Amino acid sequence: MNTFGDDVDPWGSRAATNEWAEEATTTTQYPTNEQTTPATITTGLNAVSLSGDGDLFNSKTDILEQRVWGEAPPDPTPNTVVPIIEPNINQPQSGPTQGQSHEQSSELDQSELFGQWCDQIRKSYNPLGPDIITIEEIPEREGLLFKHTNYSVKHLIELPGQDSAKDNCVVRRYSDFLWLQETLLRRYPFRMVPELPPKKLGSQIADKIFLEKRRKGLLRFINLVMKHPVFQKDDLVLTFLTVPTELSNWRKQASFDTSDEFIDKRIAASFVKMWHKGISEQWNNAASSIERTMEIWSRICILVERHERKLKQMAHEQSIFGSLVNDLSNLTPNLYPIEQSDTVLDINNHFSIIKKHLNKTQDIAQDNATKTCNSLLPKFKLFTDILLSLRGLFERYKIMATNNIPQLQRHVVLNREKLEAMKGKPDANGVEYDRIKMSITRDKKSISEQLNRAWLVRKCILEEFTIFQETQFMLTRAFQDWSKLNASFVGINLNEWEKLEEQLEDMPLGQN
C-alpha cells in the first residue's frame, strides 16, 4: 500500500527541500524541477516505493522521481538536498541541432546513454554458456545418528584462490549449499539469487529418485550462480568452490562479512540522469505477469516430463511385445505341423524379424527418453529457476526496500518550528537550541543516506532486470532442442517401420 497518496511527492517538493537544506553542507547538488507541487508530509513506514496501489513499482508516487525528469532543469541551487551522488561516467553532451529543442536533445542523449548502459550490462551475462560446475553424489553416507549425503563438486576451469590446477574438486553437503544461498541473500537481497531444491519431502530423503532430482537442482543452482556477473566474483562463492576442508569447520574458524553490497557505495550522477519513468512501467508489467508465466511454464514442464514417461512406457511395452512374439513363434509349430505345411517356418522367420524390429524401436524409445531426461528437461527446469529468482527479487523488494523518510521529514519540520519559536526569547536554553540543531542535521543526513540507498536499490534491480532480458534466449534453446530431439526420434522410428514394412512384404499369405 502506498502511504503517500496519488498526488503526493514529499521529497520532490522544492520548497520543502530548500528549507531543510540550509545546513546540509556534505551533499552534492543536482538540478531540481521548478514546477513541483508542495509536499504533503505523512507518517508511517514507507517503502521508497516505486509502488502505488496495485503496482509494485509506480513512478507517480515515487519520492525519487522529481530528482530525475520534468521540465528542463534550472541551474543547481545551493539549498537542494539530494542523495549523495558521485559521478563516475563522463559522457560528452552534444547541443541541440537546428530545429531541435533542448528537451528533445536531452531526451535523445538520455536514451542513448541508457541504451549503451543496458548493452554493457547484457554483455556481462550469458545464460546459454556451458556449465563449468559438475556435481556427483558420493555413494557413501556419513553421520552416526543422522545420515547425510555428500556431493563431489568439481569446477572445470581454474578459479581465483585455487591452490593448484589439480585441486579442482571439493566435497559439500546440502547444508553447505543452503549456507551459500543464505549468504548471497544477505549480501545481494535485490539480485536474482537462484532457488535451491528442497532438502527432503517427508520420508523421501532415502529415495534414489528424489536424491537424483535434488542433485540436478543443486547443479542448476551453482551453475546459475557462476554465470551471474556479480555472484561469480564473490569471495565466499569462490571459497565454497575452492576450500578443500569441510565448509562447516571453515565457517567456525574464518571471519567473513555478510553485509549487503550497498555499504559505502554512492549512486552515480550518470545513472540518475539516464533514468526514465518507462522503466518502472516495465517492472510493473513483469511483476504482474510473473505468476501467470510461472503457472504456464510449469504446465509445459509437466507435459515434457509426461512425454519422457510415455517414452519409457513405450520402450517397456516394446520389450514385452518382443517377448510375446518370441513365445508365439515357439508355439506355432505345434499348431501348424511342418508335415501339413512348411510355410509356418517362413512365418516364424519373419517373427524373428519383427522381434529384432521391436528390440530396435525399444532402444530408440529408451535412448530418446534418456536424452529427454538428461538434456532436454533440465533446460525447461532451468527457465523455471530463472522465473523463481525474479519473483523472489520482487518479493524481497516489497519487504526490504523500506525507509522512514516521511517520519524524518516530519521531525525536521517540527524541530525547525521549535527553533523559530525559540528565536528572540531571552529565556531560551542554548543547550536545548544546539541539541535541536544537531537533531535536524542528523535527520537530514539520514534522509540523504536513505535516498542514496534507494537509488542504489533501483540501480541494482535495473541491472538484474536488464540481464534477465538475456534469458529469453533460453526459451529459444529449449524449444529448438525439443523440436530436434522429437524430429530425430520420429525420423529414426519411421525409418525402422518402413524397413519392417518392406521385410514383411514376402511374408506368406497362402500356400504356394
Do residue 228 and residue 280 come from a single domain?
A: no
pLDDT at 433 (0 to 100): 84
pLDDT at 165 (0 to 100): 62
pLDDT at 419 (0 to 100): 86
Mean pLDDT calculated for residue range 111-135:
93
Grid-cell match 536513505, residue found: 450
> Would residue 321 count as lying in a domain?
yes
> Would residue 61 count as lying in a domain?
no
Do residue 187 and residue 254 come from a single domain?
A: yes
Give Cβ neighbours of residue 244 (< 8 Å, ≥ 6 apart). 163, 167, 170
Do residue 209 and residue 252 come from a single domain?
A: yes
pLDDT at 24 (0 to 100): 37
Do residue 363 and residue 475 come from a single domain?
A: yes
Mean pLDDT calculated for residue range 432-445:
91
> Would residue 363 count as lying in a domain?
yes
pLDDT at 342 (0 to 100): 84
C-alpha cell at 75: 541551474
Report residue 142: phi and psi, to 5°: -115, 165
Answer yes or no: is pLDDT of 425 > 90.
Answer: no
pLDDT at 167 (0 to 100): 73
Q: Which domain holds residue 336?
A: 275-512
> Would residue 76 count as lying in a domain?
no
- Of 260, 292, 325, the domain-final residue: 260
Contact between residue 226 and residue 132 where contact means Cβ atoms under 8 Å apart: yes
DSSP-derived letter for residue 256 is: -
Strand partners, 169: 154
pLDDT, greater one: 422 or 468? 468
Lowest mean pLDDT among 10-14, 64-68, 120-124: 10-14
Do residue 199 and residue 225 come from a single domain?
A: yes
Lowest mean pLDDT among 62-71, 115-124, 257-266, 365-374: 62-71
Do residue 254 and residue 289 come from a single domain?
A: no
Answer yes or no: is pLDDT of 469 > 50.
Answer: yes
Strand partners, 172: 151
Q: Where do the DSSP E strands lie in 16-59?
A: 46-47
Give the number of residues written for the chain.
Answer: 512
3-class DSSP assignment, residue 172 = strand
* For the ranges 20-24, 49-53, 368-372, 416-420, the one whose mean pLDDT is highest: 368-372
Answer yes or no: is pLDDT of 71 > 60.
Answer: no
Give Cβ neighbours of residue 200 (< 8 Å, ≥ 6 apart). 210
pLDDT bin (cut points 50, 70, 90) of residue 227 is very high
Answer yes or no: is pLDDT of 473 > 50.
Answer: yes
* For the ranges 146-160, 327-341, 479-493, the one whose mean pLDDT is highest: 479-493
3-class DSSP assignment, residue 258 = coil
Do residue 323 and residue 254 come from a single domain?
A: no
> Would residue 240 count as lying in a domain?
yes
Answer yes or no: is pLDDT of 63 > 80.
Answer: no
Domain count, the chain: 2
Do residue 304 and residue 351 come from a single domain?
A: yes
- Of 260, 293, 315, the domain-final residue: 260
pLDDT bin (cut points 50, 70, 90) of residue 100 is low
Grid-cell match 529543442, residue found: 101
3-class DSSP assignment, residue 331 = helix
Mean pLDDT calculated for residue range 181-202:
91
Lowest mean pLDDT among 259-273, 293-307, 471-485: 259-273
Do residue 357 and residue 401 come from a single domain?
A: yes
The whole-chain average pLDDT of the chain stands at: 80
> Would residue 69 count as lying in a domain?
no
Do residue 502 and residue 379 come from a single domain?
A: yes
Answer yes or no: is pLDDT of 504 > 50.
Answer: yes
- Of 237, 260, 283, the domain-final residue: 260
> Would residue 77 count as lying in a domain?
no
Give Cβ neighbours of residue 411 (< 8 Å, ≥ 6 apart). 439, 443
Lowest mean pLDDT among 97-111, 275-289, 337-351, 444-458: 97-111
> Would residue 5 count as lying in a domain?
no
Answer yes or no: is pLDDT of 6 > 80.
Answer: no
Give Cβ neighbours of residue 89 (< 8 Å, ≥ 6 apart). 268, 270
CATH number at residue 144: 3.30.1520.10
Answer yes or no: is pLDDT of 391 > 60.
Answer: yes
Do residue 242 and residue 343 come from a single domain?
A: no
pLDDT bin (cut points 50, 70, 90) of residue 101 is low
pLDDT, greater one: 104 or 379? 379
pLDDT at 58 (0 to 100): 59
Lowest mean pLDDT among 149-163, 373-387, 415-429: 415-429
- pTM here is 0.78
Cα–Cα distances in angstroms (integers) from residue 468 to residues 11, 153, 231, 296, 386, in the given order: 31, 27, 15, 18, 8
Do residue 349 and residue 493 come from a single domain?
A: yes
Sign of CA dihedral 457, 462, 463, 468: positive
CATH number at residue 414: 1.20.1270.60
pLDDT bin (cut points 50, 70, 90) of residue 299 is very high
State how far the Cα of 379 lies from the Cα of 376, in Å rounded to an integer. Answer: 6
pLDDT bin (cut points 50, 70, 90) of residue 103 is low
